[in-house]
Amino acid sequence: MSETTPTQSTNFIRTIIDEHNASGRFEQRVHTRFPPEPNGYLHIGHAKSICLNFGLAEDYNGKCNLRFDDTNPVKEEQEYIDSIIKDVKWLGFDWEDRLFYASNYFDQMYDYAEQLIRAGKAYVEDLSAEEIRQYRGTLKEPGKNSPYRDRSVEENLDLFRRMRAGEFEDGSKVLRAKIDMSSPNLNMRDPVMYRILHAEHPRTGNKWCIYPMYDWAHGLEDSIERITHSICTLEFEDHRPLYDWFLDQLDAYHPQQIEFARLNLNYTIMSKRKLLRLVEENYVSGWDDPRMPTISGLRRRGYSPEAIREFSDRIGVAKTNSTVDFALLDHVLREDLNKRAIRVMGVLNPLKVVIDNYPEGQVEMMEAVNNPEDESAGTRSIPFSKEIFIEREDFREEANRKWFRLTPGKEVRLKHAYYITCTDVVKDDSGAITELHCTYDPASKGGWTDDGRKVKGTLHWVSAAHAVPAEIRLYEHLFTKENPDETEEGQDFTANINPDSLKILTNSLVEPSLKEAQPGTYYQFLRQGYFCADPDTSAEKPVFNRTVTLRDSWAKIEKKLK
């Protein structure tokens, strides 16, 4: 019996683990791993895999390793390794002392390869990559044996050792497993195990000039680390027989591979190759551009690790691929930020308002609740004075009865401050409104009266003399299409990039408390959405990213479904 009872809702992976615990297959051990290739930054799809692997280990009192699958020195970089470590930590997971690298096992993998050669189960191939492809056959036709397939064990050993010693050029030879060129599973048609690559590796330097292929290395890594459940995405289902074949031939420890459907999100892409193109071709400012689906981009935009973990839990695990609505991620984020984001006031497009009957030179400090959802967040004071700024779009010169915001003659509430009524509109020569004049009711201090007066509209504002100029960055989806890969003939996904995905406002004004905003702090700007101070922020010029607006389209979808 399992020692711990998982508290979360069950899924097919848990069912398998429970069965193993019941049968004692892994002596009640649960040991998973997250195995990224350090060839790019992690994205929200990886987050799902991280939450799944670390989450299962936590729930079953097991362990989860962080392992870099660093078998391809051509595409891998230390920058990626560092970013991955940072991102997994930020998501809130801990691998303790189990940070591993596939490259740590290169010697052992090499020994295993010699073992296969000696058993007559691997051979050195001289055919070119193109010829190998031709000999491979298709799904309908069996492949053909290579003329080099029947080399003797001695010759294979000799050639393989010379491959390792650097005697041959890149691409001139490979080591292949000797399995079955007519297998209906193409992965079993004598897959390549090693290629020659005279490339420096971030960790092993120039020690090696042959590098293991992913399919040879991956199963061995899991076996060497005595992983119990090797959780991977569906496309590896067809590779499982190969991983099993290798481990059988070597008489090595067998983990259980379990496949699940990868996460897809609409309006974005998840392929590292394509994300790299966005960065290299400057469609975005970098891997951490707040429009990127990368963990670093989401962090910079203001998504919390708690929300990403909750999202990952809610979408669950499945056996068939599907696409999740981005609105669900935003919904979960709003739920989280609603509980803890400090409510502040920022005016994105300011319009000046002069309160004619307010005493010249007077400043009153208005008390504001920091978070109505959390009393412990306390209060702060905001200065109020004769000249303020309101949101330009909160004023209409002509309005019907449904307009509850500012318009001449109608009373509105300034949040935390007073009721005001617009008395005059000032325009420039072109007819553009430059300033409003209002009167205030001194009896409405704090934004309410006890005479039963009804004031529907509530506006946010900042005091002109105290406001802090800020840069505000507004975002939309990076792509205009739900499926960015859906394009006209001859185009690629970049044709669907949204030209309006970033809008920078440089004339915005925020309340003085935001002068010291620390990067990464979450705020709710009243009526404007959730914002997060950007790393570019400074006391001279605070910079805020709008994470999401307050409008929750997922809540509407959910209502309809019920």
**Rounded distance, CA 289 to CA 287, Å?**
6
Q: How far is the CB of 55 from ligand ATP (least distance, A)?
A: 13
CA distance 8 to 5: 9
Nearer Cβ to ligand ATP, position 70 or 534?
A: 70
Residues 6+ apart with CB under 8 A from 63: 30, 31, 32, 57, 96, 98
Which are the catalytic amino acids?
37, 262, 272
CB closer to ligand ATP, 45 vs 62: 45
Residue indicated by tokens 């001449």: 408
Shortest distance in whole angstroms from residue 53 CB to ligand ATP = 8
In order of 42, 141, 386, 451, the CA distances from 448 in angstroms are: 49, 81, 19, 9
DSSP notation for 453-480: -----EE-EEETTT-EEEEEEEE--SBS
Each residue of 99-109: b (16+ CB within 10 Å) or e? ebbbbbbbeeb
| Angle, alpha carbons 414-351-363 (nearest 5°) | 50
Determine the Cα–Cα distance for residues 257 and 251; give it in Å rounded to an integer. 17
The verdict on 48 binding ligand ATP (CB under 6 A) reads yes
- Do residues 138 and 117 lie in contact, with contact meaning Cβ atoms separated by under 8 Å? no
Q: Does 256 participate in binding ligand ATP (rule CB under 6 A)?
A: no
Task: Output the smallest distance, CB 32 to ligand ATP, in A.
Answer: 10
Q: Please count the other Cβ atoms lying within 10 Å of the Cβ belonging to residue 2.
A: 14
Count the site residues for ligand ATP by CB under 6 A. 14
Q: Minimum distance from CB of 50 to ligand ATP (Å)?
A: 8
Nearest approach, Cβ of residue 439 and ligand ATP (Å): 58
Residue number, 72 or 513, with CB nearest to ligand ATP: 72
Output the smallest distance, CB 93 to ligand ATP, in A: 14
Question: CB–CB of 505/348 below 8 Å?
Answer: yes
Q: Tell which positions 18-47 bind ligand ATP, by CB under 6 A.
A: 35-37, 39, 45-46
> How many Å is the maximal CA-CA distance in the chain?
101
- Coil, strand or helix: which one is 209? coil
Write each residue from 181 to 220 as x if it is in contact with ligand ATP (CB under 6 A), else as -, in one continuous string. Answer: ----------------------------------------
Question: Closest residue (Cβ) to ligand ATP?
Answer: 45
The residue (of 45 and 55) whose beta carbon lies closer to ligand ATP is: 45
Binder of ligand ATP out of 17, 26, 41, 49 (CB under 6 A): 49
Residue 460, both tokens: 């946010």
Q: Which is nearer to ligand ATP, 36 or 219 (CB)?
A: 36
Tokens of 430: 């072109």
Contacts of 364 (CB under 8 A, 6+ apart): 383, 384, 385, 445
Query: Among residues 529, 473, 531, which one has the least CA distance to residue 502?
Result: 473
Closer Cβ to ligand ATP, 36 or 62, answer by number? 36
List 113, 116, 232, 317, residue binding ligand ATP (CB under 6 A): 232
- Give the residue with the Cβ less far from ligand ATP, 261 or 464: 261
For the bound state, the minimum distance from the C-beta of residue 33 to ligand ATP, rounded and expressed in Å, comes to 9
The site string for ligand ATP over 260-289 (x = CB under 6 A, - otherwise) reads --xx------x-x-----------------
- Tell me which residues touch ligand ATP (CB under 6 A): 35-37, 39, 45-46, 48-49, 232-233, 262-263, 270, 272
